Amino acid sequence: MMAVAAKDADKFRCWKDFSGKPVFYTNAGFMNWLNWQCIYKALGYDFKHVQIDLKSNADAMQSGSIVGSATYTTAGRSLASYWKETEIRMDVRVVNPCPDEVEKLKAAGLAVVDIDPKGAFSKDVGPKTLKGVPILFGYNVGTNISEEVVYKMLTAFYKNRDSLAKTEPGFAPMAKDFVGMQAQGINANPDIPVHPGLAKFLKEHKAWNNKWKIASK
């Protein structure tokens, strides 16, 4: 997600408004920074990163040394610690991608998900629903683990997805669309072959894409 100082919110309508402008895209070289590079590559925008100390995030936005700062959550709920401090010190607004940008991102194989701002931020940040491009972490197994074992694991997780989310809120996105999340993970890395157990599971749920490759030993 992308956030700006509330006083500057009327200057930004879409993510294209940040192209070529100084933005802190989280710490350089780490996964969220790399994710934003993928986003900008898909959109054809100019990625101009300004590295700052995390503690100076609010100061940098208020002074104008950066026009925006990328923000993120864990599973749509837990806000990064330096961002918790930022929203205490200042009012911010989140700028969503415009509809055409969402379409371009999806066409590039990137997922775009809805995030409830009340689950992440303690104050109003503008849109009733926030849009973000998630980093899909996976529990990856090799083909040395049999098709049947992986299939049984996935089936067990699927059947217990709601109880998992009640136990740990971080599982909520998985519970909301368990099958779709598996497909999103594959689409984000379409050149990596899919484990036969996952392929069997997705075929059973009519979510298999014949363009995907199934791994072999």
88: helix, coil or strand? helix
Using 50, 70 and 90 to split pLDDT, how confident is the model at 5?
A: very high
pLDDT tens per residue across span 107-131: 998 989 999 999 889 999 999 999 9
Q: What is the pLDDT of residue 184?
A: 87
Q: What is the pTM assigned to this prediction? A: 0.81
pLDDT: which is higher, 186 or 46? 46
CA 148 to chain centroid, in Å, comes to 30
Residue 204 CA to residue 187 CA, distance in Å, equals: 18
Q: Is the predicted pLDDT of residue 83 greater than 90, yes or no?
A: yes
Taking all residues of the chain, what is their mean pLDDT, rounded to a whole number?
94
Residue 61 · residue 87 · CB < 8 Å? no
Question: In this predicted structure, which of 45-59, 163-177, 199-213 has the lowest mean pLDDT?
Answer: 163-177
Task: Say if strands 130-132 and 73-74 run parallel, antiparallel, or are unpaired.
Answer: unpaired
Q: The tokens 């415009």 sit on which residue?
A: 98
pLDDT tens per residue across span 147-173: 999 999 999 999 999 999 888 877 888
Could you tell me which residues come within 8 angstroms of residue 133 by beta carbon, excluding any fewer than 6 positions away?
35, 38, 39, 105, 110, 111, 112, 113
Residue 184 CA to residue 1 CA, distance in Å, equals: 18
Domains within the chain, CATH numbers bracketed:
2-132 (3.40.190.10), 147-204 (no CATH)
